[in-house]
Amino acid sequence: MINPLGDFIVGSGGIFTISVVLILFFIGVATFIFRRTLLHMLMGVELMLNAVNLSLIYFSRLHQNLDGQILSLMIFVVAACEVAVGIAIIVKLYKRTGTIGVETYTEERG
Amino acid sequence: MDFNILMYFVFGVVAIAGGLILLFAKHPIKGAMGLLASMLALAGMYAILQAHSIAVFQVIIYAGAIMVLIIYFLMLLDIKSEDYLRSYAKLVWTAGPLLLLLGIFFIYKLYTVFQGPGVLKDMSTAISPAANPENFGGIKVFSKTLLTKYLFAFEFVSTLLFAAIVAVISIVQLDWKGRKND
């Protein structure tokens, strides 16, 4: 039985998928480090979580095992919690200081 | 070339392009749109990898709920232009090339591992692509596994969700001196 997609996923699709995962993860890290806005940092974390999800689902398909998919569903829930709490904190900070640029938050500087 | 494989490459490239838009676009709304495109492309990749239910959840939860929340607050906050006029930190010229080198090193190591003797062959003998049940990742198998084997994790994560709701309400209700807002 010829199954080109299965052959691709087991064979040369692996390096493509893991390359996409690594590139997306490093773009997320760079967004978190270099962009100086709180919402940008939050979106960088979201991109990192998405990259990890892709690798989980790829290996779940590779090993024909559903554990990776369940774990990625748990990551969805954690990401939703993180965004809800993070945005509440950002709104409070904005109401207090009038900006969401992180370099202006110097009150905690020792 | 198989259509699914072609679309897999296209979705991967679109995901990376969306991430780059998030990193380089000056205006936050454009960055959020790039992230949204990246998430939708990843949903397509999940669907090709037979994780159909996860693909649907990705569209509904990530693209539908989380990104809409972020875009809503981007529009609500009405960010002044000086927040993103100087949009990159000072350390971009020192840490940026280091990060790039680290990423290239990781991909190179991965390439050598995948090209190493027998890795791909071991994988393909351990997992035969023909043994590919049609309903793998479908909603029936998925929910059966979620509600039997992973029932504790499911309930635990619902507790986490509840704790997050309580945390958000208490953050929004109290003012900076710990008194209740009205």
Kindly report, residue by residue over A15-39, the tens digit of the pLDDT: 888 889 999 999 999 999 888 788 8
Question: Which is higher by pLDDT, B33 or A12?
Answer: B33
- Nearest Cβ partner of B79 from A53, A96, A100? A100
Distance CA B16, CA B9 (A): 11
For chains A and B, CB pairs below 8 A equal 242
Residues A34-80: tens digit of each pLDDT: 887 888 899 999 999 999 999 999 888 887 888 889 999 999 999 99
For residue A80 the two structure tokens come to 């939703």
A31 by DSSP, 3-state: which? helix
Is there a contact between B120 and A90 if contact means CB atoms under 8 Å apart?
A: no
Looking at per-residue pLDDT, the higher value among A22 and A96 belongs to A22
pTM, entire model: 0.86
3-state secondary structure of A37: strand
Distances (CA, A) of B117 to A3, A24, B123: 24, 28, 12
- Give the nearest partner residue to B161 out of A7, A8, A77, using CB atoms: A77
- Which chain B residues touch A4 with a CB distance below 8 Å? 2, 4-5
For residue B175, pLDDT over 60 is answered with yes
Asked if B31 and A5 come within 8 Å (Cβ–Cβ), the reply is: no
With cut-offs at 50, 70 and 90, classify the pLDDT of residue B97: confident
Please name the residues in contact with B128: beta carbons below 8 A apart, sequence gap of 6 or more: none
Percent of chain A residues past pLDDT 70, beyond the cut: 88
The token duo for A59 is: 């290996």
CA-nearest residue to A89 within chain B is: B171
Q: Which residues of B touch A33 (CB under 8 A)?
A: 89, 91, 95, 99
Euclidean distance between CA atoms B23 and B87, whole angstroms: 10
Report how far residue A4's alpha carbon sits from residue A1's, in angstroms, rounded to the nearest whole number: 10
Q: Is B150 helix (H, G, I), strand (E, B) or coil?
A: coil
Measured between CA atoms, the residue of chain A closest to residue B92 is A34
Contact B73 A15 (CB under 8 A): no
